[in-house]
Structure 1
Amino acid sequence: MNISIDHKSHIPLHIQAELLLRELIKDPVYQAGKLLPNEVELAKKLAISRTTLRQALNKLVYEELLVRKKGYGTKVAPSKISSKSMNWLSFSQEMKARGIPVRNYELHLSWVYPDEQIASFFDIKTDKKILKLERLRGGSASAFVYFISYFHPRIGLSGEEDFKLPLYEMLESEHSVIANLSKEEISAIAASKFIAGKLEVETGSPLLFRKRFVYDQGDRPMEYNLGYYRAESFIYTVESRRNR
């Protein structure tokens, strides 16, 4: 497999190395147990320092994709069932999986000052404006979710992007930002007057509230997302498998 790093790219070298390693370990010969090239050889081939390469390797070891044994080498970890929910989908992907066409009923963009909670997540000051995206979305029959997203200024969004496109696909293609990790908090709340008006329910009606924290390929915070779902129109399913 021919692998190389673009030293002129704005993507950090350790991130490029990590992405290359993820592709490399898909090779059947490594899946079958062949040791990866040693650090000196691989770092030389990629023209990066061993420290940079080790940072990428450590990430995959932490994710239990690789195992490393001192004096022996590094190889692909044996397959096993994880008890963690490792797969997450964007709203568009969720709806596509269910065979439901997605419709945007409203879409609003604005530049706002983040509150303390959002600024803390992004590790920025509250006096720096960030882009806020609000979308009322649903199927062809009716809207059933109201999303509010805030984006880290590091992404470089101008507000001129086409936010009607699938969000994470647009961020990746136009800004080389890959949504790599999502952490979520789910709770039941009563609809405020504002959200009730958007979702056409009574104020105080039960809603499914999902708070999503999205990180990029460098595990840096990129999006702070709030989702308000009509309770009778949406079911959140979690699938777990017992690890015996």
Structure 2
Amino acid sequence: MGGKYRSVFDIIGPAMIGPSSSHTAGAVAIGRKARQIFADEIKSVRVDHYESFAMTHKGHGTDYALAAGVLGMEPDDSRVPQAVEVARDQGIQIDFIEHTEPSPIHHPNTAILTIKNEHKEVVVAGCSVGGGTIELREIQIDGVTIRPTGPLPMLLTWIQVEQMFTIENMITAGGSSVLKIITQEINQETVLVIYELDKRPNVKVLADLQDACQQVVCL
């Protein structure tokens, strides 16, 4: 099986509430990953839809699916269709904007989420590539822009520069291969290092990384 699908289940898609694995389950996944990256109390969410998402987001449930993901719901959660109302009941301002121009990340199923609170802002540009599978093609966090080169999984780690190879060794010792490393300096003491992986690290490795790093997000 070629392309970006790793198994037949990537084509069939996951168990979900909604009409479309690309427009609903994939949208939940984008929202969940954005929530993980933000990792703080959410006050507002702006969703910019492009191309296919812009044309069909209301009818295909993309809006409520993204809201459900931002709230941390699973795709098969019975509350998914009410997620926009649930978010607003929790005091989260959520807005959806349709764009007529091409997707800035070059995929028809594009949603760009801007998540904010009083002291933090994160922008996640994601696309749903089919069967509930997603790619995050641009992330803006801590004043830097990161453009991952491939599909998930990946690790975002906030560490000291001298820890880079130690962290890489911890990842590979757990059985994951590091496909690419992207680094962005945050300040004189901290760098954001993204490790693109062939598979998600196991629970023990993730626990060890949490102890070793200032912050870790596994996507």
Higher relative contact order (CA 8 A, sep 6+): 2
More strand by share: 2
Give TM class, smaller chain.
Answer: under 0.3
Structure 1 or 2, whichever has the larger Rg, is 1
- TM-score scaled by structure 2? 0.27
